[in-house]
């Protein structure tokens, strides 16, 4: 198959199958780029045809939205802009607040930081278990009616929650981690998205760098958020690096890079999938975008499937504290601690 460069649909918007996740320009992963490097990457992405940029109030506790606001908003008509609320920060700590009042306040701050009057796609970043999803979606429905956002999305939520939300207002996109080594979306929510006409936006499509060759035996820098994730800790990490080595062999045989194979595999799964790899490297961004002209045989795609069975990847994908903040389905027998 050829990974087509034709556009895919997110609600009323048409975008390239490959967008840009902007989180690691300001948040979570180390080392972080200097501001001028981050700005160059964003402008280069526009030049290369990236037309879907994803940020959130959480990222850098506002700094990521400010980065986009001062860098690319002079080209606002060239891309679809997405941001998120509910999962935020106070005094440097993560917290959930899905109340209508908090959502309205976060949206106003996002608009200010992004230097816009309108955000195309605004997600509930996580499900706040203390607030009915209907109330949170209701707050965003009012924002749509007020002309402050164009469409509503959900992130890291289940098929059941999606159905409840969609009954209040059409949901344009579900954003969830999805890659060959994280396939929870295949339990139920991917099918629900197809049924309801919802786009599926895959974050961490190269397994947080592991399936791009970006993480070696030395692991990640101290302070990097991945260091707290069980899959990056012994003994899981060593086992998962063995999988990455086998994955590289498949990519080498296919004549592509590891990142291209991971992204291409994802785009082959469903026509409603959009991927948002993040990077701080212009060269890696160009490599990712080149996937749009990549040809992958059915045999290569099947080899990826066979390598990454559910049981293959070692360890939970989140530590307990982060796992408690997500609503996604788990596989039978999946380790959660």
Q: Of all helices (H) and strands (E), which one includes residue 157? A: none
Q: Cα separation of 123 and 133, whole Å?
A: 12
The Cβ-side half-sphere exposure at 214, using a 13 Å CA radius, reads: 21
Q: Cα separation of 182 and 309, whole Å?
A: 10
Q: Cα separation of 265 and 64, whole Å?
A: 29
Query: How deeply is 218 buried, as exposed, middle or buried, from its count of CB atoms within 10 A (0-12, 13-18, 19+)?
Result: exposed
Angle ∠(120,121,127) on CA atoms, nearest 5: 155
DSSP 8-state symbol, 271: T
DSSP 8-state symbol, 175: E
Cis, bond preceding 215 (omega within 30 deg of 0) = no
Greatest Cα-to-Cα distance within the chain, rounded to the nearest angstrom: 53
Tokens, residue 76: 């606002």
Task: Identify how many contiguous H helices and E strands the chain contains and give both numbers.
Answer: 11, 12
3-state secondary structure of 216: coil
Catalytic positions, written as ranges: 59
State how far Cα 326 lies from the chain centre.
14
Q: Cα separation of 247 and 41, whole Å?
A: 28
């Amino acid at each position: 198959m050829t990974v087509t460069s034709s556009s895919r649909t997110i609600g009323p918007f048409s975008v390239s199958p490959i967008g840009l996740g902007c989180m690691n320009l300001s948040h979570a992963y180390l080392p972080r780029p200097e501001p001028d490097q981050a700005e160059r990457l964003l402008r280069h992405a526009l030049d290369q045809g990236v037309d879907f940029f994803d940020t959130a109030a959480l990222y850098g506790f506002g700094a990521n939205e400010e980065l986009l606001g001062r860098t690319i908003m002079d080209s606002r008509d060239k891309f679809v802009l997405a941001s998120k609320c509910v999962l935020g920060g106070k005094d440097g700590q993560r917290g959930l607040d899905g109340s209508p009042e908090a959502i309205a306040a976060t949206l106003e701050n996002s608009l200010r930081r992004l230097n816009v009057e309108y955000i195309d796609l605004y997600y509930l970043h996580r499900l706040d278990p203390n607030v009915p999803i209907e109330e949170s979606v209701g707050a965003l429905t009012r924002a749509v009616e007020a002309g402050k956002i164009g469409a509503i999305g959900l992130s890291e939520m289940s098929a059941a929650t999606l159905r409840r939300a969609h009954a209040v207002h059409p949901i344009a996109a579900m954003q969830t981690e999805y890659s060959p080594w994280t396939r929870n979306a295949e339990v139920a929510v991917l099918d629900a998205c197809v049924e309801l006409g919802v786009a599926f936006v895959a974050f961490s499509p190269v397994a947080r760098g592991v399936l791009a060759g970006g993480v070696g035996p030395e692991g990640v820098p101290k302070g990097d958020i991945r260091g707290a994730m069980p899959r990056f800790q012994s003994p899981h990490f060593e086992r998962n690096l063995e999988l990455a080595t086998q994955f590289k062999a498949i990519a080498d045989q296919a004549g592509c890079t590891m990142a291209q194979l991971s992204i291409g595999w994802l785009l082959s799964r469903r026509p409603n999938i959009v991927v948002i790899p993040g990077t701080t490297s212009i060269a890696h961004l160009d490599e990712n975008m080149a996937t749009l002209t990549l040809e992958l045989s059915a045999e290569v795609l099947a080899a990826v499937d066979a390598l990454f069975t559910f049981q293959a990847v070692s360890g939970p994908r989140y530590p307990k504290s982060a796992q408690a903040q997500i609503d996604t389905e788990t596989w039978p027998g999946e380790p959660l601690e």
